[in-house]
Amino acid sequence: MVESEWKDDRIVLTPINLYMEYILLSYNRYLKENLKDVSITYGELTYIYNIKYFPSISQRELAETLFVSEANVAKMVKKLVSKGIVEKKKDEHNKSRNILTLTDKGEDIFVKINVLTCAWERDISKRFSNEELFDFKEKLYQITKETTEL
């Protein structure tokens, strides 16, 4: 667990992934506390965000984006369809391709989660200026790109 004041050597020697894990655990706890009326898991949230951000994404493309198997995507999509959050349609130009979109319910859930996420982000980054936060996000984006190229 993160203590209130780590020494510089501990900060430097702690792997990035451990920091990311702490942040995700905290975020997941925050969502559970604030989304009691919405029955979704953190794993489902990842799919909802990616379906929203990549309009007309196929199941295969989603699997590639999330570094998971197509079977894993099919299982998750089935859950989200049964919850009325995602709609799956055959591509008119390629019948073997399933296109994923959020339903109206899925869009509502996305908005609710995004509002909560913005509030959480504001709370955890209140010591940073907008410019510092942007720079930090830009660095995270660059790291994310580098990890996909490994």
- Measured over the CA atoms of residue 63, residue 100, residue 74 and residue 22, the dihedral's sign is positive
Model confidence, pTM:
0.82
- State which residues of the chain have pLDDT below 70: 1-4
Q: What is the pLDDT of residues 61-78, one digit of tens each?
A: 999 999 999 999 999 999
Q: What is the pLDDT of residues 91-116, one digit of tens each?
A: 888 888 889 999 999 999 999 999 99
Predicted local confidence at residue 73, as pLDDT:
96
Predicted local confidence at residue 62, as pLDDT:
96
Q: Estimate the crossing angle of helix 42-53 against helix 70-82, to 10 degrees.
A: 90
CATH node for 39-148: 1.10.10.10
Predicted local confidence at residue 40, as pLDDT:
85
Predicted local confidence at residue 3, as pLDDT:
57
Predicted local confidence at residue 88, as pLDDT:
94
Predicted local confidence at residue 23, as pLDDT:
92
Task: Tell me the domain boundaries of the chain.
Answer: 39-148
Q: Which amino acid, 68?
A: V
Predicted local confidence at residue 41, as pLDDT:
83
Cβ(48)–Cβ(57) under 8 Å? no
Predicted local confidence at residue 118, as pLDDT:
94
